Amino acid sequence: MRDAMPLGAAQEGIWTGQEFDRDSPAFNTAEYVEIHGPVDVVLLEAAIRRAVAETDSVHSVFGTDEEGHVWQRLAPDSSWPVHVVDVQDEPDPHAAATKWMRADLSVAVDLRRDRLFCHAVFLLGPDHVLWYHRVHHIALDGYGLSLVARRVAEVYTALAEDREPPAHPFGSLESVVREDQSYLDSEKYAAARDYWVGMAEGRPVPVVLSRDPGRLARSVIRVSAEFDDAIPALKAVAAQARAMWTETLAAAFAAYLHRMTGTDEAVLALPVMVRLGSVSVRVPCMVTNVVPLWVSTPPGITFTELTGQVSAQLRDGRPHLRYRYEQLRRDLRLVANERKLFGPSVNIMPFDYRLRFAGTPGVVHNVSAGLVEDMVVHIYDRADGHGLRIVLDANPNSYDPDELKTHLDRFMTFLGRVTSEPNVPVTDIDLLLDGERELLLETWNDTDRPLPAVTVPDLLAAQAKATPDRTALVACDAALTFTELAGRVNRLARWLVERGAGPGTYVALLLPRTSDAIVALLAVLRSGAAYVPVDPDYPARRIEAIIADSGPVLVLDELPALDRSSDVDTPGTGPGPRDAACLIYTSGSTGTPKGVVIEHRGLVNLFHHHRDTLIRPNAGGRARRAALSASLSFDTSWEGLLWLLDGHELHFIDDELRRQPTELLAYVSDNEIDFMDITPTYAEELVSEGFLDAPRRPAVLALGGEATGPALWTTLRDAGMTVYNLYGPTECTVDTLWCRLDESAEPIVGRPLANTRAYVLDGDRRLVPPGVVGELYFAGAPVARGYHDRPELTEERFPDDPFHAGKMYRTGDLARWRPDGTLEFLGRADDQVKIRGFRIELGEIEAALTGHPDIAQAAVIPREDTPGQPRLVGYAVPVSTVPEPADLRHYLAERLPDYMVPPVYVTLERIPRTTNGKLDRAALPAPESTAVSGRAPRDHREAVLCGLFAELLGIDEVGIDDDFFSLGGHSLLVAKLINRVRGEFGVRIGIRTVFEAPTAARLAVAIGGDGDEDGDEDRVLLPLRADGIEPPLFCVAPATGLALAYTGLLAALPGRPVYGLQLVGVRTTTVADLAASFVARVREIQPAGPYHLLGASFGGLVAHEMAAQLQEAGEQVVLVALLDSYPFPAAWRDRPPLTESEVAAELAGLDPDQIALAYQTFTHHSRLGAEWTPRRIVGDVLLFEATEDKTPDWPGPDTWSSHVDGQVDVHRIPCSHNAMTSAEPLARIAAAIAARAAGTSQHRSVP
């Protein structure tokens, strides 16, 4: 055994790979030589032994020293066998030989002990022999194998001719190792490093052809084919491009990868021999390197131009080919992560070497080329000057055999087309195989069905006539039969028409989730107008933006009281099928929501499809019960409404119930709900709450709004229910694709609905082949009219259908056709995402975030750092001062809906970009999720909250100052936290409360704790938000004295300072004295008007008195908002006061001392209220009337009529008196105040 020496540069990477998986045979390489003719097996064995003895590298044994350095020693051994296997008597001798080879290849080699090679000779028949040789890749590369094979043929020929073989030409392995060491210390190495690092930095993540890239496999799948007469055409292109003909092959596969994936930059792996000018040119060993080839495919580039680009890059990189790709990965810090340096490999072999054994030809067949991470395209020159042999090797965890065979057929077809038309843009080269165009356009889009020329009101009228006494609607406030529903709808429709509603107009609905909302929606449609749903929980600015953009003739935030005996026939002609039915706003990439105009025709088509495929097949001829939990501002609300239109009972789930999974499940079970439509995220929440184990669960479930994950798909598919997956953008009337979960073992989005055509197109709107990713387009009846008052955007997103008359809609979603004609959803092609069913334009969030004065640049992306918990993450480059994450959340919450506010933020020095200026998403760091504050809880409440944070976030410990969102919280976890807080403390809080108080210390204060802001309850003037550009709003506390609850106003009143005026510790003898003291404090903040005042219950009396005093002083008061506040009726003055326990029940969560203080405050000020006589003020009063749990003697809005020189504008809030200052009512109140400021509200007035 010779002395130890280091490994060669190429050997080091293979050693590492084999050590990583010692049981893997993936690094075995093999080929066999097929000889047709007389062969002397004895002489052949002698030639094999002699060539092997002359080859240093195959005799290496490997090991490591005490410091972990790897060494190799040459240990020649002549005791190895040449297996002679006679398979002549086998039914298929060739198959038998191949089976033996595969078995040999499947055995892993232990580099520390095992022999690196194996040789066998198979006798297939008279004058038909196969010589097989297998060797570990650490010893030989492809060129090394060829050197050994040629030497065997040379020695055999000499022995057969009875002469001494020529001296062997091989150099030593040691010389190659020494040369490698010298290269590492040379200037060439440094120059090569600079070249490759410079080329690689900032490049996008490489793409591959696999639909589902998998882990490395220990085996390879292979397909191959012959391509006759390819080389002349390739040489013709090469001549035009001034390139080598082999370079056209790399360009061709890069173009194929571009067309198949849509990538603008293909990154190929090119194996290179690196032997020219090296001692290794005559040494059989492993020196092959792999270098990346970046091929840019700008619009309009031709194949000739692409070949020229490839040739120029290869020419520039030729001096640097020895620089190892393993080292480049280390330089780019890719070793510790899974990001690849390149995609598929293209191995061009301009030599398909043919051998002669004493005049008898031998043809070489590759059996295995070693490890394949993804796909390797081997292209062999057949040495006849015309043809090629193309072999595709692939990782079986990433490709199946049929898929690989299709790639081979398609690439060969593409290669033939692109070389025959080299001077046309590569994007114009057809990728489709014979028959695929008809399959895509006709067979899989055979959806034409009759579509009646009716409207939604026609459907409702027909159903009311067919089943007049059947229950149609059940809501929190009422249950209506079809006759009652139709009557209310028609009466309201007449009222709307009288006020200008009709075809071509819009009516905005800003209503709570009562029966009024459904009645109003259907009445607007009956009037001929289109409804504009506006969620009352939206921030005021968003409400204002929607109303301003839509230009409604009316805004309804409550319904008028109409005479039930009036004529129910609606005047006017009503809508037609092509009239607008609704204007639904979705997130907009420019920072402004955009309205989608949906027509009756699309809704009627949806109704008929769902009726025939989803509703009636599951109803069994009986009236069923469907639950509607979606917001009416989302198009998915129609999933439940369609059941109503088909005669079934619709349960309209109210806000509180739909946000409490446990209570919702109980309701569903108790009311025997048969159908629900929910998002997959909410389905997961319900499953975790015991949905599948409920005593009675819906028989039919529809999922929609976002992608369904594999785990949930499997769970629900096997749950014994009928479950549908529905897909569709708002721009295509709710749904365009559908399937049942039991149709597929993995998530799909299914096939087109009736009268719907689905296209998967590339960037030039050409059909892509089945299995290829493209952008999803829809055409047919569901396609909406476009965007309201956005003609340029409509033209961009609703182009002409290139295959049929009419328009189509560009979804921005990526998809591909499966072999069975169903579609698979693969994410977004643009910056739009869906989180928990909400459609979000990242650009809208980024635009809002960069509007913050301290933010210079911003990016927002969805991340799923915890599996199954996607969330938005904001990345911000500050101008100078770094804002707190809570400040950014607060800023965005004033401008965007809750679901669009990223819960966590990362500060960066710069936003990473790729070389083409695009956001480099892969370079954005994951947010840290470790608790860092170290401050321990100071009381029981903080301790409980810290424990809840830790439990929900899945971490060990949380300090009182640790931010819930920075630790990984998101809105779904917020919902869980709210439920847990309610269970632990008996306190109801809203989502916004957690957004504004995201630490245990601050949340303890918000729910009545004793955190850092212990003194707040003792302060008369409490600044809830001290800064802003609008006049402040001063809020007087109710009789219990505390104003902290008014934080619920903040999110919907952006830009407005809000101050609380507290009663605790204030001892005055009259309401007038109390008001005077508050006026003095108010004027310290705002010396002059106009003033904005608000008060709840007793606080409303004080606010009214403050207004009177300010007006007496000559000041202007523009807002007096009273929250269920009324002058005390005479009958109340003799009522017994509430007990301390009754007050304590309303103040759950406060400690005993605080409750005692609040009780004293309550009793004192209740007495003052009973003794107060209100004066008359100038102007209007805004009264918010609680509608629940009122006693018969409770005063009403008319009690204010004699005390107001103006109107009492009444807004009815669906809550109890004591709940008026809880989060959800306050959000509605703030939205109404904002709408009033914009002059848009329609409400009841008391003169």
Q: How many residues would you count in the chain?
A: 1247
Residue 1040 pLDDT level (bands cut at 50, 70, 90): confident
φ, ψ for residue 101, nearest 5 deg: -60, -45
> What CATH number does the domain located at 928-989 have?
1.10.1200.10
- C-alpha 736 chain-centroid distance: 19
Q: Measuring CA to CA, how many Å separate 226 from each of 223, 249, 271, 436?
A: 11, 15, 22, 23
User: Tokens at residue 880, please?
Assistant: 């100078």
Q: Within 10 A of 965 (CB to CB), how many other CB atoms are there? A: 26
Taking a C-beta distance cutoff of 8 angstroms, is the pair 1051, 996 a contact? Answer: yes
Cα–Cα distance, 773 to 762 (Å, whole number): 8
Strand partners, 75: none
Domain positions in the chain? 5-177, 202-435, 844-913, 928-989, 1014-1246
What does 243-290 look like in DSSP terms, one character per residue? Answer: S-HHHHHHHHHHHHHHHHH--SEEEEEEEE---TTSGGGG--S---EE
In this predicted model, which residue has the larger pLDDT, 245 or 486? 486
CATH topology identical between 5-177 and 202-435: yes
Residue 749 pLDDT level (bands cut at 50, 70, 90): very high
Cα–Cα distance, 521 to 541 (Å, whole number): 23
Average pLDDT over residues 849-877: 81
What does the pLDDT look like over 1096-1110, one tens digit per residue?
A: 988 999 999 999 999
For the segment(s) 844-913, the CATH number from 3.30.300.30, 3.40.50.150, 3.50.50.60, 3.30.450.40 is 3.30.300.30
Instruction: Answer whether residue 1243 shows pLDDT above 50.
Output: no
Confidence at residue 932, expressed as pLDDT on a 0 to 100 scale:
44
Q: Within 10 A of 774 (CB to CB), how many other CB atoms are there? A: 25
Confidence at residue 884, expressed as pLDDT on a 0 to 100 scale:
83
Confidence at residue 1015, expressed as pLDDT on a 0 to 100 scale:
35
Most distant CA atoms of the chain, gap in Å: 133
Instruction: Answer whether residue 103 shows pLDDT above 80.
Output: yes
Residue whose token pair is 């902290």: 1044
Tell me which CATH homologous superfamily contains domain 1014-1246. Answer: Alpha/Beta hydrolase fold, catalytic domain (3.40.50.1820)
Confidence at residue 964, expressed as pLDDT on a 0 to 100 scale:
80
The string over 40-62, giving b where at least 16 C-beta atoms fall within 10 Å of a residue's C-beta and e elsewhere, is eeebbbbbbbbbbebbbbbbbbb
Residues with Cβ within 8 Å of 449's Cβ and at least 6 positions away in sequence, in order, are 608, 609, 754, 755
3-class DSSP state for residue 73? strand
- Rg of the chain (C-alpha set): 38
What does the pLDDT look like over 396-412, one tens digit per residue?
A: 988 999 999 999 999 99
Cα–Cα distance, 974 to 893 (Å, whole number): 15
Q: Given the DSSP bridges, would you call strands 375-381 and 345-349 parallel, antiparallel or unpaired?
A: parallel
Out of 10-24, 277-291, 840-854, 962-976, pick the least confident: 962-976
What does the pLDDT look like over 489-503, one tens digit per residue?
A: 999 999 999 999 999
Instruction: Answer whether residue 714 shows pLDDT above 80.
Output: yes
Confidence at residue 540, expressed as pLDDT on a 0 to 100 scale:
83
Report percent pLDDT > 70 for the chain: 89
User: Tokens at residue 453, please?
Assistant: 């020329």
Confidence at residue 882, expressed as pLDDT on a 0 to 100 scale:
84
In this predicted model, which residue has the larger pLDDT, 332 or 753? 753
Q: Domain 202-435 has what CATH class?
A: alpha beta
Instruction: Answer whether residue 1074 shows pLDDT above 90.
Output: no
The string over 160-176, giving b where at least 16 C-beta atoms fall within 10 Å of a residue's C-beta and e elsewhere, is beeeebeeeebbebbbb
Name which of 1131, 1108, 1142 is nearest 1218 in CA terms.
1142
- C-alpha 978 chain-centroid distance: 25
Evaluate whether the domain defined by 5-177 bears CATH number 3.30.930.10. no
Confidence at residue 1221, expressed as pLDDT on a 0 to 100 scale:
82
Confidence at residue 930, expressed as pLDDT on a 0 to 100 scale:
45
In this predicted model, which residue has the larger pLDDT, 285 or 898? 285
User: Residue 294: enclosing H or E segment and its boundaries?
Assistant: strand 289-296
What rounded mean pLDDT belongs to the chain?
86
Confidence at residue 807, expressed as pLDDT on a 0 to 100 scale:
97
Instruction: Answer whether residue 1241 shows pLDDT above 60.
Output: no
Strand partners, 222: 393
Average pLDDT over residues 165-185: 92
Confidence at residue 85, expressed as pLDDT on a 0 to 100 scale:
97
Instruction: Answer whether residue 1011 shows pLDDT above 60.
Output: no
User: Residue 551: enclosing H or E segment and its boundaries?
Assistant: none
Instruction: Answer whether residue 899 shows pLDDT above 50.
Output: yes
What does the pLDDT look like over 578-635, one tens digit per residue?
A: 999 999 998 765 567 899 999 999 999 999 999 999 999 999 999 999 999 999 999 9
3-class DSSP state for residue 953? helix
Average pLDDT over residues 209-236: 83
Confidence at residue 565, expressed as pLDDT on a 0 to 100 scale:
62
Confidence at residue 471, expressed as pLDDT on a 0 to 100 scale:
97
Average pLDDT over residues 364-375: 87
Average pLDDT over residues 637-643: 97
User: Tokens at residue 998, please?
Assistant: 């995201």
Name which of 1181, 1195, 1211, 1022 is nearest 1104 in CA terms.
1181
Residues with Cβ within 8 Å of 1216's Cβ and at least 6 positions away in sequence, in order, are 1186, 1188, 1189
Give CA torsion, residues 479, 484, 485, 490, to 10 deg: -150
Beta strands in 852-900 (DSSP E): 855-863, 871-878
CA atoms within 13 A on the CB side of 133: 27
In this predicted model, which residue has the larger pLDDT, 1086 or 525? 525
Instruction: Answer whether residue 1017 shows pLDDT above 50.
Output: no
107-116, 518-527, 887-896, 1128-1137: which is most confident:
518-527
User: Tokens at residue 35, please?
Assistant: 């000889």
Average pLDDT over residues 148-174: 94
Taking a C-beta distance cutoff of 8 angstroms, is the pair 1005, 1065 a contact? Answer: no
Name which of 413, 380, 393, 172 is nearest 283 in CA terms.
172
Cα–Cα distance, 949 to 959 (Å, whole number): 9
What does the pLDDT look like over 941-988, one tens digit per residue?
A: 888 899 999 888 877 778 887 878 667 666 457 767 887 887 787 777
Instruction: Answer whether residue 1128 shows pLDDT above 90.
Output: no
Average pLDDT over residues 1193-1216: 87
Name which of 269, 253, 396 is nearest 343 in CA terms.
269
In this predicted model, which residue has the larger pLDDT, 1195 or 1246? 1195
Give CA torsion, residues 143, 144, 146, 149, to 10 deg: 180
User: Tokens at residue 332, please?
Assistant: 């780019």
| Residue 296: burial class (beta carbons within 10 Å; 0-12, 13-18, 19+) | middle
